[in-house]
Structure 1
């Protein structure tokens, strides 16, 4: 296999995973990141079976579980107590399957340390503003810095605000305020579920177990409250205690977490977008992760899609006979799965985040009962797990042995 010089713009999960995989193949890889010190943005996320299949091949599945929290399903209850979302991983038909809730900092740390261990160069304080194509290759251009030398390939892993995408940003109306909060054994939450409470689709509060960050002495949960972008200023002007009363009214048991929020500085607003960079390739350049496609986090697929993109790119680089074919294969192997989830997410998101009355009515009256019937229950589990559309076989991947993974995790825990 030919060896190439590769520059990656962005030091998130997509960029780090791609760097590790391509370095394994013998390519000369350098990551460029705009921050003074590379690090994660946000609170918690879900590692689904699709993403864990990649982490398993990276040798990081057990460490991911050790850093995160086992999640056996999703449970959503509307304001009057009716269960409208009950999605256990057991319905997937994969022995012992589960998701992993994890802090973004923990996932970042695992990938970052793996990249450093391989000696991959990471250049910080490089804010990418564009690129220049020459006969020698493509160079990254930065703000207030000289451009790089020409590389054989530029990978855009810079996220949904990529400077290389000139299409409309596709900002979604709803975002969420997040906080990472300590949790204890007597807290009134299941501990192994992503739990949500809804008032129609206009308000949602949720709790996701995210394990224990490196160096911390306690487990955490990601606490989130849905909020429209247009309402952020009003929310910031609302007394904190008044907002807590609104949350308490929807989910009284969340009061124990609200008591741990003593300052608005603990809460961060996250906005989302639904967009696709089309096409994701140009000469000597390819986009992966959120730089290629982004969507509402309602199905919890962002980091998992990024990991699959990184794996797909590495497979394309290995199996393509020409440089253009390598990129074409990387895109073609991911295109259908991405297209499918972009549309499914677009259809499903209003059921849980919208101002309409008919979306939650469809959710509660039709979809919730149907989801308890096979094969709809299995399809729902496939959607949740990132396996709808059978993306793994195309990429030469398979779900990890969950029973062995859990047994190894329990054995490790008993020795410490």
Structure 2
């Protein structure tokens, strides 16, 4: 088939690679003039890594991944260790190491694998229609697209989703702002082989190792939506938001480069079950936009990619039958994880002070199994189990 993918993010690129391996002719159209990663890094949990392994990218993704052997929670104000444990039992149970990776590195690797000559930039889709067993799309620059199948990997603001559902759904503000970036690994910040999270006051500061001796960092602060975004004020704001917090957090604030730090107001979308209409199908954030609180957004897009490609390959009752099977397989799992992330978000960011303080106390008693069971429950159930 001639397949058009709208969006050259991780989901669109992974889908394109999978479909090409099954012999389809695939072209990707991206609205931006230059592909820039949304955020500094991503938690690729074992299910996401397995999707890339399935596509023959085992060595490539391993080179990008940080060595995350341990997990720890630290009291952000006192610096006291609340819990610390090895992730080896988790890795052994699910059969694959997780990899925190730089988004830019991952996106470049996926573009190289797909073939940059088949990625067209500056192509903002503005209209979409179907007739004569084809999909026709028009871009703002006048480009016209004709395909047997159009895949909307166009993110949380998806125009393709609007076509599939017949309406544009509203995003829901999750109640907090996230700042993220990359810094050099330093023992003054955290243990080099560990995912370290400082918690307190409904806020989080987290550090995860990625390749090239770097930490991915993020700050989470519950705040109203729509506040001014001024990079020149980032460090002053962090000093205010994290006043009285422990020395490693202050060291991180001093170490960051505000000019390369990203700021994101975190949203999700109420789950829905319709993922296709005739010859148009959605995946990734277009289909199930989630908060990042359980680290499954990118992984779920990769699961979509694998299952969609396989559904088109192994089912022979026609295109719509394959898309229906993809939809019915993916919407239950992905939507469950959207709601699971939302629940974790509310606990972490002190929507109810008593609930969050109880979580802090539970962390002080945690030996590892309970947290790992939660992570494993997100990983299992993927299309490659």
TM-score (norm 1): 0.82
2:132 and 2:347 mapped to 1: Cα distance? 50
Question: Cα distance 1:240–1:147, how it changes in 2: closer, same or farther (>3 A)?
Answer: same
**Alignment counterpart, residue 182 of structure 2, candidates 176, 180, 183:** 180
Look up the SS of the partner of 2:174 in the other structure: coil
1:263-412 paired onto structure 2 within 5 Å: 264-275=258-269, 276-321=271-316, 322-366=318-362, 369=365, 372=367, 376-383=370-377, 386-387=378-379, 390-392=380-382, 395=383, 397-398=384-385
1:111-260 paired onto structure 2 within 5 Å: 111-116=110-115, 121-149=118-146, 151-163=147-159, 164-165=161-162, 166-184=168-186, 186-201=187-202, 203-212=203-212, 219-227=213-221, 228-230=223-225, 232-233=227-228, 238=233, 240-241=235-236, 243-244=238-239, 246-247=241-242, 249-260=244-255
Structure 2 gap segments, 5+ residues each: 163-167
Kept in 2, the 8 Å contact 1:351–1:362? The answer is no
How large is the Cα RMSD of the aligned pairs?
Answer: 2.6
Q: Alpha-carbon deviations, 1:260-296, whole Å to 9, x = none?
A: 335x323221122221354111110111111111211
Kept in 2, the 8 Å contact 1:7–1:154? The answer is yes
2:276 and 2:79 mapped to 1: Cα distance? 48
Shift of residue 231, structure 1, vs aligned partner = 7.0
- Number of aligned positions between the proteins: 374
2:96 and 2:246 mapped to 1: Cα distance? 29
Stretch moving more, 120-129 or 95-104: 95-104
Shift of residue 353, structure 1, vs aligned partner = 1.7
Shift of residue 176, structure 1, vs aligned partner = 0.6
2:55 and 2:193 mapped to 1: Cα distance? 25
Look up the SS of the partner of 1:38 in the other structure: coil
Kept in 1, the 8 Å contact 2:41–2:100? The answer is yes
Kept in 2, the 8 Å contact 1:89–1:99? The answer is no
**Alignment counterpart, residue 94 of structure 1, candidates 92, 101, 120:** 92
Look up the SS of the partner of 2:228 in the other structure: helix
Q: Alpha-carbon deviations, 1:296-317, whole Å to 9, x = none?
A: 1111111111111100101110
Kept in 2, the 8 Å contact 1:33–1:125? The answer is yes
Shift of residue 239, structure 1, vs aligned partner = 7.3
Alignment of 1:63 onto 2:60: yes
Shift of residue 93, structure 1, vs aligned partner = 6.4
Question: Cα distance 1:16–1:97, how it changes in 2: closer, same or farther (>3 A)?
Answer: closer
1:104 and 1:296 mapped to 2: Cα distance? 17
Kept in 1, the 8 Å contact 2:274–2:327? The answer is no
Shift of residue 10, structure 1, vs aligned partner = 0.3
Alignment of 1:75 onto 2:78: no
**Alignment counterpart, residue 15 of structure 2, candidates 15, 18, 22:** 18
Partner of 1:50: 47
Kept in 2, the 8 Å contact 1:156–1:288? The answer is yes
